[in-house]
Each structure stands twice: as structure tokens, then as C-alpha cells.
Amino acid sequence: MTQPLFGPRIKAMRESRKLTQEELARHFGFKDRQTISAIETGERRLSAEELLQAAQVFGTTLDDFTDPFVLVGDEGRFSWRQTNVVSERLMAFERGAGRWIATFRTIAPQVGHPAPLLRRTLPLSSKSTFEDASAAGERFAADFALGDVPARRLAEVMERDFGILVLMVDAIDGVSGAACRLPELDAVLINRREPEGRRNFDLAHELFHVLTWQAMPPHHSEEAGETSKSHVERLANSFASAVLMPRAIVESFGDWAGMDVGAIATKLNRMADALAVTASALRWRLADIKIIPQGVARQVPEAAIRNNGRTGAAREAPPPFSRTFLEVMARAQEEGHLSTRRAASLLGITLDDLPELYQAHGIDATMDL
């Protein structure tokens, strides 16, 4: 058992249950809150008997205090984009997702993977305008040289320049993605089974939440399909649209004047494919920056631009997780921090699937059991 886990875990459980240090001290039979404070900061160790008592007080198991590969209480705060997912299913999936993030948090320092020194933020607040958010997205795309197809490099920049863990995951039906904040790590999860354009928009949307978490903490769950979104969610959409579809790039598509609705739909589908976004998102981006009139944008039939005009099979999904994540896993195996069996268990796959997963990301890994 690892003593350094106990204090933060007790604090996380106490805060998630909205208990004060005084109230928890009474549960333990301590005379004052200073003892709880000392436990939470690691200044005072817990005895085995007190650890058992803590499990009884919080109604949990000893694993919740000792297992480094789980997120407990408020150790990790999630913000989900979902549609019609009942709370119980979402929380069950969150526990599994928390295990992937906790795994990276635990083993990355063991193999020398550098943690970000600073957390970057956007100079925006809940009082910012949509124009402010759009301008921030434009600047982000330019400052980090996302190129002519920003969607292609966004995840790489997030992981390399921001230290944000980006994971492509097999999410439950209705979940598009999530942002997650830990004291020492930010993460974004994206449903890899979504169409490419939606994946990319969700990635940019969740990036906004990561970069504005302190100023505008997102709700635990947001309905992705709501027609009337909160102001913060609409700011996130404005930022994401500008990151993926900067004005200079979409203006290079040429003149749209004089085109009938059918021709506009065809061009939207072609240009959206080129930018790896959805034709619907491109349509509203063009309307927002007044390249096409709002009225014309509304006239384009949804059926004509759904799946960017394709009626056949969807494009192949990206491999699960990310190269950065799996490189850390592979190094942990090679250096003896994880067995192959333990690695497969943490990822929720079989031993036979693990080599294929590494290979999909171009990683050579030792497969000792």
C-alpha cells in the first residue's frame, strides 16, 4: 500500500461528499480538524486501523485508497458531451475512462515522460462574445501553425505543446467526448466511432474547455444535441469553428455568389472533406463570417450535406487511444513497471489484442507476461 495516495484520496472523497474537515474529524473521533488536514497533506500517516475506518466512513473499499490506476472522488473532474445518456450509464463509463487517465498519470513519471510545466489558458471569460472566441480560435490556428488542414495537426499540438492527453476511445452510444481535469494533468477523450468531421470538432470544442476551465468550469454533462446551448458552450463552438476553419483558408475556396442551393451543397461537401470537418459546421462557419448569407445557409437541405454527401460506409475509425499514451505503456512494460497482462487489463483488451494495438500505432513493444 502506498501512503502518499491516502491523503489526497481522503480529501477527494471528503470533497465529493461535501463534508468539511470538522465533520470528517467527528466521524473518525478526532478532537479537531487539524488531524484531518495533516492526513490530507501527507504530514500524518494513517494506521491500518484508521484506513479500515476510512473505508467504513466513506462506504467504499480499500482499493479506492490504494489502487493508483483509478480516479477517486474529485481527483478527476469530467465534462461530457453526450446525447440522451442516462446518468447511471454515463457514470459507469466515466469510471472506466478514469482508469485510462489514472494509468497515464501513474506510469508517465515512472518512465520519464515529461509533464507540462505550465497550464496555458485562453484570455476569455463567460462575458466574452462569440467574436472574441472566434478571434481566439483564429489566433490559435496561426500561432501553432496548424497549416492548411488544421484538423490534421490539432491532436499532435495538444499533446506536444500543451501536454494534454488525447485519447480516441470506444465510447458508449450517445457519448461524443469529454474533457477531464486532474490537479497534474488535462485529458480529452473522443468517441473514435463518430464521423471524422464530428471527431475533429469535438476535439477542438473540448480543447476550449481545457483552456478555459479555471475561468469557466464546464458542467459535468452537456447535451450535444441541444438547440439552445449555454453561452459557454456556444463560445466553445465558435472557438472550435475558427480553429478548424480559419477565415483565410475558407476565403481561399473562392466566390459562392450566384450559386444555387444544390451547387452550394456540393461545394460544401467537397470543401468539408478537404478540411476534415462536417459540411454542416462549414456551412455555419461561412454564414458567421458572412461569406454566404444566413438565409442561404438555412436553405441548404440537411439531407444533402449529411455525412458530407456520402451514402456509403463511413471511413475507418482511428486506432484506439493515442501513440503518446501507448508509447508510455510500452516503455512501462519494457522497464518492468507493468506486466503485459496488467497492461492489457488496464486497457480493457485481451492479451492477443495488445500486440495489434501497438502495431496500429507503429510501436514495437516487448510482450513478456
Report whether pLDDT(1) > 90.
Answer: no
CA dist 328 and 109 (Å) reads: 9
Distances (CA, A) of 365 to 36, 79, 356: 44, 33, 10
pLDDT (mean) for 29-49: 91
Order of all β-strands in the sheet with 185-191: 164-169, 185-191, 175-182, 77-82, 221-223
CA dist 321 and 330 (Å) reads: 13
Alpha helices for the chain (secondary structure H): 3-16, 21-28, 33-41, 48-58, 63-66, 87-110, 130-143, 150-162, 196-211, 231-244, 247-251, 261-275, 279-288, 294-299, 302-305, 323-334, 340-347, 353-360
Instruction: Count CA within 13 A, CB hemisphere, residue 131.
Output: 2
Q: Which residue has the cell 442516462?
A: 86
Q: Are strands 77-82 and 175-182 parallel, antiparallel or unpaired?
A: antiparallel
pLDDT (mean) for 146-173: 97
Report whether pLDDT(2) > 60.
Answer: no
Q: pTM to 2 decimals?
A: 0.89
Q: Are strands 221-223 and 77-82 parallel, antiparallel or unpaired?
A: parallel
Report whether pLDDT(58) > 60.
Answer: yes
Percent of the chain clearing pLDDT 90 (strictly above) = 79
| pLDDT confidence band for 182 (50 / 70 / 90) | very high
Report whether pLDDT(96) > 90.
Answer: yes
- Whether the CA torsion 204, 210, 211, 215 is positive or negative: it is positive
The pLDDT, as a whole number, for residue 4 is 72
Q: Fill in the DSSP letter of residue 335.
A: T
CA dihedral of residues 301, 303, 308, 311 (deg, nearest 10) = -150
pLDDT (mean) for 261-271: 96
Domains, the chain, in order of start with CATH, read: 3-66 (1.10.260.40), 77-244 (1.10.10.2910), 247-308 (no CATH), 323-360 (no CATH)
CA dist 182 and 185 (Å) reads: 5
260: its cell numbers:
444555387
| pLDDT confidence band for 16 (50 / 70 / 90) | confident
Distance of alpha carbon 258 from the chain centroid: 41
Q: Which of 277, 34, 49, 39 is nearest to 151 (CA)?
A: 277
At 61-89, the pLDDT tens digits run 888 888 899 898 778 999 999 999 999 99
At 273-329, the pLDDT tens digits run 999 999 999 999 999 999 999 999 999 999 999 999 988 666 789 999 999 999 999
CA dist 111 and 196 (Å) reads: 32
Q: Which of 149, 124, 339 is nearest to 234 (CA)?
A: 124
The pLDDT, as a whole number, for residue 368 is 61
Q: What length is written for the chain?
A: 369
Contact 190, 199 (CB under 8 A): yes
At 183-233, the pLDDT tens digits run 889 999 999 999 999 999 999 999 999 999 999 999 999 887 655 579 999
pLDDT (mean) for 87-101: 95
Distances (CA, A) of 96 to 92, 93, 162, 320, 327: 7, 5, 24, 14, 20
Burial per residue of 139-166, b for 16 or more beta-carbon CB atoms within 10 angstroms, e otherwise: ebbeebebeeebbebbbebbbeebbbbb
| pLDDT confidence band for 347 (50 / 70 / 90) | very high
CA dist 314 and 196 (Å) reads: 9
Compute the mean pLDDT over every residue in the chain, rounded to the nearest whole number.
Answer: 92
Report whether pLDDT(14) > 60.
Answer: yes
